């Protein structure tokens, strides 16, 4: 599954889900991204079912886009294994970070995350003890190391228990986020002032 159009800021959605067919929430979100011009959508588990990632191809995709979306479920307070492997292999030393590693400098990354838990359980004193932002710190630091901008994540909480109406509302917000980023609706200062994209006025 892959789409590509081109208007405004170029957005690349990298979608990681090992059981996409079982995730109604991610299907609805993916349909939204696929329907928008200027958004390229790539299902990485479909492209690399054997985990044999084409590093150069992935790097070329990153270079030709301004904003990268990591769309994935929140697996064990982190990401699915293919996404971790993608980060380990594609964001190479000397290319993405380290000496002469500035190829992604100035680009932005946004995580769009479906979660079984709610914001209430992801906080100090909650069942999961830490906030989403705290648990996402390794991704934030990875993006920072690559001289990119880490945008506030967009969380779809309690996704497996949502009604179709609720999911459609989040999908609509997702569409507005993508279009707003294309059109540079928000300044970087406005974006970085928010803890989550859920708090930003669409």
pLDDT per residue as tens digits for the range 119-167: 999 999 999 999 999 999 999 999 999 999 999 999 999 988 989 999 9
- At residue 181, the pLDDT reads 96
Reference 103, options 112, 93, 113; nearest CA is 93
For residues 198 and 200, what is the distance between their CA atoms, to the nearest angstrom? 6
Q: How confident is the model at residue 2 (pLDDT cuts 50, 70, 90)?
A: low
Concatenating the DSSP letter of every residue in 102-145 gives -TTTT-EEEEEEE-SS-TTTSSTTSTT-S-HHHHTHHHHHHHHH
Q: How confident is the model at residue 188 (pLDDT cuts 50, 70, 90)?
A: very high
Reference 80, options 23, 127, 39, 126; nearest CA is 23
- At residue 1, the pLDDT reads 57
The tally of domains found in the chain comes to 1
Asked if pLDDT for residue 3 goes beyond 80, the answer is: no
Q: Are 167 and 25 spatial neighbours (Cβ–Cβ below 8 Å)?
A: yes
Q: What CATH number is associated with residue 8?
A: 3.40.50.360
For residues 51 and 38, what is the distance between their CA atoms, to the nearest angstrom? 27
């Amino acid at each position: 599954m892959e789409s590509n159009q081109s208007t405004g800021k170029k957005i690349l959605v990298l979608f990681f889900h090992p059981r996409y067919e079982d995730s109604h929430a991610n299907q609805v979100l993916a349909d939204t991204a696929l329907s928008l011009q200027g958004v390229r959508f790539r299902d990485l588990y479909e492209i690399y079912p054997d985990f044999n990632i084409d590093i150069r191809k992935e790097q070329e995709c990153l270079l030709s886009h301004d904003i990268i979306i990591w769309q994935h479920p929140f697996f064990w307070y982190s990401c699915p294994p293919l996404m971790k492997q993608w980060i380990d292999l594609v964001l190479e030393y000397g290319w993405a970070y380290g000496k002469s590693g500035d190829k992604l400098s100035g680009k932005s990354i946004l995580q769009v995350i479906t979660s079984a838990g709610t914001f209430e359980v992801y906080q100090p004193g909650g069942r999961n003890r830490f906030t989403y932002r705290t648990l996402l710190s390794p991704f934030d630091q990875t993006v920072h190391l690559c001289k990119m901008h880490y945008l506030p994540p967009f969380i779809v909480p309690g996704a497996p228990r949502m009604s179709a109406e609720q999911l459609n509302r989040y999908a609509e917000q997702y569409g507005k986020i993508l279009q707003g980023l294309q059109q540079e609706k928000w300044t970087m200062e406005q974006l970085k002032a928010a803890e989550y994209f859920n708090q930003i006025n669409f």
